[in-house]
A and B are shown apart, each in its own frame.
Chain A
Amino acid sequence: MKSLLRELVFPLVAVLAAFIVGGIFVLLIGDNPIYTYRLLLGSALSWPDGIGYTLFYATPLIFTGLAVAVAFRCGLLNIGAEGQLIVASFAAAWVSIKLGGVVVDVFGSPLNYSWVSLPAVILLPIAMLAAILMGAIWGGIPGFLKAKFGSHEVINTIMLNFIAAALVSYLTQYYYKIPGDPILQTAPIGTGAHIARLGKFIPGLPERIPLNIAFLLALLACVLVYIFLWRTKWGFEIRATGANPQAAEYGGISVRKQIVLAMAVSGALAGMVGINEVLGFRHRYYEGFSPGYGFTGIAVALLGRNHPVGVLLSAILFGVLIRGGIFVDAFTDHVTKDLVQVLQGVVILFVAAEAAFRGPFGRFGLLKRSKI
């Protein structure tokens, strides 16, 4: 109980500190911090719109938070969740277009984008798997590069973010955009790959709110990540590698294999954002849909202590910030939604500096990482 309390105290202090620093900025900019924060929380926690949207925004953050957390447990910092979720979302859209029987009317004549039209029971699992696999591949690349050549995953994942954005943008623009569409987005996916909104099942929650079954998948992912990390041999080996790579190697664990595995699992989790975004919400790939979910995932994981329960709680907190940020942007004189970005940065900074209060080598063996 005492340790649980200690686990909770520092994240709360970090959040409080971030809000105070953010409040000072709001004041300097010329708005009223109390009004701003009241607006932020009020718009994010009202029923049903506030809570519905907050949980909808929290869904991708649960996935990216878990992704970053799994990598952290192996002593790796995955800044590439953003690129991983982009390629995965595109893959989900691509599969659901190619196999979903998509015919679009272009200037009066039909244009067929598909090879076949598969029924939903087959199409939906394939589309989900495509997102997960593509994420795993894109995450596995920097893992492989680190295991094989020792090149640092932080810079490689950042580079892969840029490469992912460019490649997907190229494919969208040249091959999957409907001719004449002014927006950079693909054709719509087959209806068989759509997943239901939760409004269908929950009384009082209107169906116009995009919160969908992917949220339940995110909760399931929390449970599965817990089981994977703490109840399986692979998970144990990942944590052993993160805690002390030298000792793990002496103990007969292949550190290189764990690095690739952890990065692939991390990428797969980040890729699941595509399920929420493409299959659950927009029903197409839309360029620039992510306001930095991958990067916010770092803050979510650090604040959540790289534990699935913590990740869930902090993802909801950041969901509140995103939802509230939109209202703050619209209804204050000067403050923009960039306030959320600043709050994130301050949270990470405080959590990072926590090592000073816990002994120099932190909890996750991060300091034993390779050199940059």
Chain B
Amino acid sequence: MRDIFTLALVFSTVRLATPLLLAALGGLFSERSGVINIALEGLMLAGAFTAAAITHYTGSPWTGLTAGIIAGIAVAAIHAVACIRFKADQVVSGTAINMLFLGMPALMSGALFASSGSTPQIPKDDLIPWTPVVIAFALVPITWYILYRTAFGMRLRAVGENPEAADAAGISVNGIRYTGVLLSGALAAIGGAYLSIGQSSLFTRNMTSGRGFIALAALIFGKWRPVQTMLACLLFGFTEAVAIQLQGVKLPSGDEIPNQFIQIIPYVLTIVVLAGFIGQSRAPRALGLPYLKEK
């Protein structure tokens, strides 16, 4: 068991925490403004697919990443318009987007690459294995600064806590909320792109496999604050890294630990965390409520 806890595990933890952290920080901007973003999963998938497809065509991961971000913003715009303009139920709208982008990349890869749901392999030289990691962790202090030290951050928090007061103070509630949701699309898309052109070398069907939801759990666990959210993401990344390390490890009895038990560790942990066994957290007060201007 000893040789499991090595430097490799630290790197592995950081790399596995990266997509979670990017999506969770994205979720932070959306939810701090008062819009629930359960669509993180779909946003990541949109980013992952677009980045892989464009990198395949252009041979440039930077073009791919940029395209992925644009796709993420475009998809987030659907969620934003549904929730803000049309006052749709935010959870239902998010669910719709998740479904849409479970099917959409598969449909498009069928048309573009004549495959059932994956893009062609991208050569190793065209991958960006570390840049998104740096971006993700650099974004933690940046997000903290924006949130607590800039006028925009102050407005974002005000809109999420008390939109009436913010409106009375002359802040455009819906304008701030659009910005928050679109930012979440951009960040979650980078997280997705990291999966397809960073960690692996192609997009595969449903490659996020629930990471968007785990990111959301990390955001709640982190009490909607950047530094705590990062710690939560590292914890989830760590469990995933340990799970990978444990694959094929023999117990003293000589049996292998069944793969299925290792796979469920992050999911069980999420439930335990949400049940508040590891600290309660309080949501932004206006989270989930569309803003109705007084007539």
Contact = CB atoms under 8 A, between A and B. Distances in A.
B95 A77 contact: yes
Contact of B110 (A298, A336, A344, A347): A336
Interface in B280-295: 283-284, 287-290, 292
Given A159-B213, A360-B87, A362-B89, A338 B110 contact: yes
B88 A352 contact: yes
Interface stretch (B129-137, B163-171, B263-271): B263-271
Interface stretch (A197-205, A227-235, A364-372): A364-372
A79 B92 CA distance: 10
B86 A356 contact: yes
A352 B38 CA distance: 14
Given A163-B264, A341-B106, A356-B87, A150 B93 contact: no
Interface stretch (A167-175, A247-255, A258-266): A167-175
Interface stretch (B18-26, B97-105, B119-127, B142-150): B97-105
Contacts of B242: none
Interface string A285-327: 0000000000100110010000000000000000000000000
Contact of B104 (A158, A342, A355, A371): A342
Nearest to B209: A162
Given A163-B264, A355-B86, A371 B288 contact: yes
Contact of B103 (A151, A158, A339): A339
A169 B261 CA distance: 10
B97 to A, nearest CB: 7
Contact of A162 (B108, B116, B267): B267
Interface magnitude class on chain A: 35 or more
Nearest to A340: B103
A338 B99 CA distance: 10
Nearest to B286: A371
Interface residues of B, number: 55
Interface centre among A30, A336, A347 (most CB of B within 10 A): A336
Contacts of A340: 103
A367 B102 contact: no
A342 B104 CA distance: 6
A346 interface: yes
A321 B106 CA distance: 17
A371 B216 contact: no
A166 B264 contact: yes
A8 B258 CA distance: 50
Interface string B214-226: 0011001000000
B271 A338 contact: no
A29 interface: yes
Given A334-B110, A372-B220, A349 B274 contact: no
Given A170-B260, A353-B86, A367-B89, A151 B274 contact: yes
A338 B283 contact: no
Given A167-B264, A170-B261, A155 B270 contact: yes
B99 A372 contact: no
A162 B95 contact: no
Interface in B240-263: 258, 260-261, 263
Contacts of B93: 348-349, 352-353
Given A159-B210, A372-B91, 12 more contacts: A77-B91, A162-B264, A163-B267, A163-B268, A335-B111, A341-B107, A344-B99, A351-B92, A355-B86, A371-B283, A371-B288, A372-B36
Interface of B: 31, 36, 38, 78, 82, 85-89, 91-93, 95-104, 106-108, 110-111, 114, 116-117, 210, 213, 216-217, 220, 258, 260-261, 263-264, 267-268, 270-271, 274-276, 283-284, 287-290, 292
Interface of A: 25, 28-30, 77, 79, 145, 148-152, 154-156, 158-160, 162-163, 166-167, 169-170, 173-174, 295, 298-299, 302, 334-336, 338-342, 344-349, 351-356, 360, 362, 366-367, 369, 371-372
